[in-house]
Amino acid sequence: MITNDKGKQLHDKASRGESLTAEEHAQLEEWYAFQDQAEAAALGVNEREKAQANLQAQIEDALAQLVRISSRIQQTASENEVLRQENAALRQQLAHLPGSSSV
């Protein structure tokens, strides 16, 4: 494997239309392959990081929604208990009215 500087020199030489020896051409192709591999690896890491951040955001949204729903369930349960107590009190009052039968 050639150095990065040597690869850049060969790339510059080839991009200006100068002739490369067979060995230089092979070295340049190897350098290109290495650069492509490094770029793909870097992009893969970035994509994984983006996917992980996206999943984390989805988890946080789901947890926030769960907290809201749990709070609403607790509120509804409290309201139901108040209604049960009011219902029981009304049944008791109804039972004590003259001429009413048991409910």
**Structure tokens that stand for 82 in this block:** 């108040």
Q: How big is the CA angle at 61 (ends 75 and 70), to the nearest 5 degrees?
A: 15
Reported pTM: 0.49
Is the pLDDT higher at 47 or at 73? Answer: 73
Q: What is the mean pLDDT of residues 44-67?
A: 90
Q: Which of 14-28, 37-51, 71-85 has the lowest mean pLDDT?
A: 37-51
**Structure tokens that stand for 36 in this block:** 């492509």
Percent of the chain with pLDDT over 90: 76
What residue segments make up the domains of the chain, in order of their start?
A: 4-95
